[in-house]
């Protein structure tokens, strides 16, 4: 997928997908007649453009909240993408646990909720076009907060559910499967909603239905991606050299690696030094036990 790199914040590339421009144009066209009917300003299209830009800014702030929380926990965030559904903050890191996952996921919708309520509060002191834009912004941000808290991947609520299942069962992969399938169900529900909207008796019915259908399609793709890749990533993330260690002295041909290696870093270290067994050494260089490649292989296949 192509995209434009806008900036780099806290080590993360801020990327805009072409689909964001497309959805921006659609939103301007859909909202302009509604602003016109509210009698907002001399040019409803200008009002609509201001509204859509402010909406994108609030989506960006939502993503920045994810970025800030992830960086707070010391996670690596390679990129923040703004696209059709709003945005997506890609997070990498071996130090993740269920609690960090929960906090990092929930701050986004909380940010949208606060922005939405602030905009609605702002409507009390304004009138005309400003009032209409603030009211729409407030309404949509509250809607974004609620929609994103649906408990299906790739939505934030899906990540919260994944974290809760992870904390309760100890298996991140199980969390991915449950939240991924709920994400697919939510996508089917939205598609059904889109079809029912076609029967609305006004001239914007088709536009609104197509918009909801596009979101449903995007949600299905995201949930399917999470199911395909999330389980494998979760299984890799669950690997810990110390936990898989055997308390016996390593065979003579063992390759020394750190006992503190976990997740992807452990697999990388093993791939760089292929061997049947590894001598696990602590920070002082002392050998503390043995890690057999076969044990890691079995742990990966049995995880989740
Ligand atoms: Zn989010």
What ranges do the domains of the chain cover? 4-237, 241-302
- Give 136 Cα–ligand 1 centroid separation in angstroms: 20
Q: Residue 125: CB partners within 8 Å, gap ≥ 6?
A: none
- Give 102 Cα–ligand 1 centroid separation in angstroms: 12
- Region 160-178: mean pLDDT is 89
- Give 260 Cα–ligand 1 centroid separation in angstroms: 32
Alpha-carbon distance of 43 to 70, in angstroms, equals 41
Crossing angle between the packed helical segments 293-302 and 263-272, to the nearest 10 degrees: 140
CATH of domain 241-302: 3.10.580.10
- Region 262-290: mean pLDDT is 89
- Give 170 Cα–ligand 1 centroid separation in angstroms: 24
- Region 137-162: mean pLDDT is 91
- Give 197 Cα–ligand 1 centroid separation in angstroms: 26
Partners of residue 86 on adjacent β-strands: 83
Q: What is the pLDDT of residue 65?
A: 93
* Cβ burial 35-69 (10 Å sphere, 16+ → b, else e): beebebbeebeebbbbbbebbbebbbbbbbbbbbb
Residue predicted with more confidence, 82 or 50? 50
- Give 276 Cα–ligand 1 centroid separation in angstroms: 42
- Give 239 Cα–ligand 1 centroid separation in angstroms: 27
Q: What is the pLDDT of residue 257?
A: 92
- Give 238 Cα–ligand 1 centroid separation in angstroms: 24
Residue 5 pLDDT more than 90? Answer: no
Block residue for tokens 């965030």: 77
Q: What is the pLDDT of residue 303?
A: 67
Residue 38 pLDDT more than 80? Answer: no
Q: At CA 107, angle to CA 104 and CA 113, rounded to 5?
A: 160
* Cβ burial 117-126 (10 Å sphere, 16+ → b, else e): eebbebbeee
Task: Supply 298's token pair.
Answer: 């079995």
Task: Supply 138's token pair.
Answer: 């407030």
Q: What are phi and psi of 152, to 5 degrees?
A: -125, 140
- Give 89 Cα–ligand 1 centroid separation in angstroms: 7
- Give 110 Cα–ligand 1 centroid separation in angstroms: 9
- Region 204-223: mean pLDDT is 86
Residue 249 pLDDT more than 90? Answer: no
Report pTM.
0.74
Q: Distance of CA 190 to CAs 41, 62, 224, 238, Å?
A: 33, 22, 16, 34
- Give 150 Cα–ligand 1 centroid separation in angstroms: 11
Short-list 157, 162, 224, 156, CA closest to 187: 224
């Amino acid at each position: 997928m192509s995209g434009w790199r806008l900036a780099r914040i806290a080590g993360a590339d801020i990327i805009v997908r072409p689909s964001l421009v497309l959805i921006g144009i659609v939103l301007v066209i859909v909202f302009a007649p509604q602003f016109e009917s509210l009698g907002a300003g001399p040019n409803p299209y200008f009002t609509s453009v201001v509204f859509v830009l402010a909406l994108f800014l609030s989506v960006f702030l939502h993503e920045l909240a994810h970025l800030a929380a992830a960086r707070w926990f010391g996670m690596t965030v390679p990129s923040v993408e703004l696209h059709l559904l709003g945005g997506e903050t890609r997070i990498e890191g071996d130090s993740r646990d269920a609690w960090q996952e929960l906090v990092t996921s929930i701050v986004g919708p909380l940010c949208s909720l606060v922005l939405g309520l602030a905009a609605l509060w702002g409507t009390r002191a304004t009138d005309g076009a400003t009032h209409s834009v603030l009211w729409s912004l407030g309404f949509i941000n509250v809607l974004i907060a609620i929609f994103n808290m649906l408990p299906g991947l790739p939505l934030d609520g899906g990540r919260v559910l994944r974290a809760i299942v992870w904390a309760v069962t100890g298996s991140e992969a199980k969390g991915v499967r449950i939240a991924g399938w709920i994400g697919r169900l939510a996508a089917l529900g939205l598609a059904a909603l889109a079809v029912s909207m076609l029967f609305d008796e006004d001239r914007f019915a088709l536009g609104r239905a197509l918009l909801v259908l596009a979101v449903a399609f995007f949600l299905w793709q995201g949930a399917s991606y999470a199911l395909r890749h999330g389980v494998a990533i979760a299984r890799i993330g669950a690997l810990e050299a110390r936990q898989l260690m055997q308390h016996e002295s390593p065979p003579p041909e063992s390759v020394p690696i750190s006992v503190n290696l976990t997740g992807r870093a452990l697999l990388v270290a093993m791939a760089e030094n292929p061997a049947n067994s590894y001598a696990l050494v602590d920070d002082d260089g002392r050998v503390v036990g043995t890690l057999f490649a076969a044990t890691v292989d079995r742990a990966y296949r049995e995880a989740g």
